[in-house]
Amino acid sequence: MFWSLTLLLKRHVLREASNDFMILGAAAIGSLAYTFSDSFWFNAVEAEVYAPAALLMSALFYMGGLLWERDMFLPRGNKWLVLISFTVGLSFGVHFMGILTIPAIGMLWYFKHYKKITPLNFVIANISVVAVLLFVFKLLLPYTLSIFGYMEVFFVNDIGLPFNSGSIIMLILVIALFVFLIRFSRKRNKPLLNTITLCVMFVLIGFSSWTMLPIRANAGTPINENNPNDARALLAYYNREQYPAPALFYGEAFTDIYAGLDPETPISRRKT
């Protein structure tokens, strides 16, 4: 947050001021005020995921909203986008809310590339950034786990190889695919394909922190919720199948425990 405020003050607020002490002092005051605020301090001192999640979200905004936005049109400016992709994948090991920075970062790209804002391209931009978010959250990661799980079942049950052989073979195939795409994009001079390949690859590299879960599950620890010891069990863990399905638009509500009561006398009174 300190460096984010420093860049924001230098570029947008105190453009004409050359007093570095003023910029650094204002950024320090703002950062310390947030550090000791009630909401963040409460999350920082409890054994929960919200403080490290806030750290990753701050890092994503710093890299995406300030560094990548600054270097977007430079020859190697997309290096920040690759680092953002890695951090997004890494954030899944802490909390899923890190992916909520994707639409904000995507809209920065839109405002940098489109000087004339119209209702049509603004709506298309919003749909596009949400589509990227859904691609990462609902397609890339769950289908990767699903393919790993299918390969594991196929090689173990149908071919008779040892456990985890399917996952190892699938990992080799994924690495070979990325190597081929990177070499192909460089050889054919396709920078967009190269950038997309690197971003997807680094999302998966960051998400590989989830391998801690099957490693821990196979170690037989005393506390092992849902036992995610292979790719298929890990997919169920990712989809949060251990929890009831949330009713987002229509269905169950917290008041269902009172359903079926008499509307006239919902509370029965014991006669004394």
> Does residue 59 sit in the same domain as residue 192?
yes
> Does residue 107 sit in the same domain as residue 139?
yes
> Does residue 180 sit in the same domain as residue 214?
yes
Reported as half-sphere exposure (CB side, CA atoms, 13 A), residue 216 has a value of 14
> Does residue 4 sit in the same domain as residue 113?
no
Burial class of residue 3 in the structure, from the number of CB atoms within 10 Å of its CB (0-12 exposed, 13-18 middle, 19+ buried): middle
Q: Are 93 and 113 in contact (CB under 8 A)?
A: no
Taking the CB of residue 94, how many other CB atoms lie within 10 A of it?
18
> Does residue 93 sit in the same domain as residue 136?
yes
Percent of the chain scored above 70 by pLDDT?
88
How many structural domains compose the chain?
2
> Does residue 1 sit in the same domain as residue 108?
no
Q: Are 78 and 44 in contact (CB under 8 A)?
A: no
pLDDT (0 to 100) of residue 148: 92
Of the pLDDT bands very low, low, confident and very high (cuts 50, 70, 90), residue 181 is very high
> Does residue 15 sit in the same domain as residue 118?
no
Residue 148 lies in a domain: yes
> Does residue 132 sit in the same domain as residue 109?
yes
pLDDT (0 to 100) of residue 259: 65
Give per-residue pLDDT as tens, 184-200.
999 999 999 999 999 99
Give per-residue pLDDT as tens, 118-128.
999 999 999 99
Mention every residue, 6+ apart, whose C-beta is less than 8 A from residue 165.
152, 155, 156
Query: Which stretch of 38-42, 171-175, 235-239 has the lowest confidence by average pLDDT?
Result: 38-42
pLDDT (0 to 100) of residue 85: 94
The closest of 39, 65, 66, 63 to 51, measured between CA atoms, is 39
Q: Are 92 and 98 in contact (CB under 8 A)?
A: yes
What range defines the domain where residue 10 resides? 1-36
> Does residue 69 sit in the same domain as residue 98?
yes
Residue 246 lies in a domain: no
- Helix, strand, coil percentages in the chain from 3-state DSSP, rounded to 5: 70, 0, 30
Residue 109 lies in a domain: yes
Q: Show the tokens assigned to 157.
A: 């049950």
pLDDT (0 to 100) of residue 3: 86
Give per-residue pLDDT as tens, 140-173.
999 999 999 999 999 988 888 888 888 899 999 9
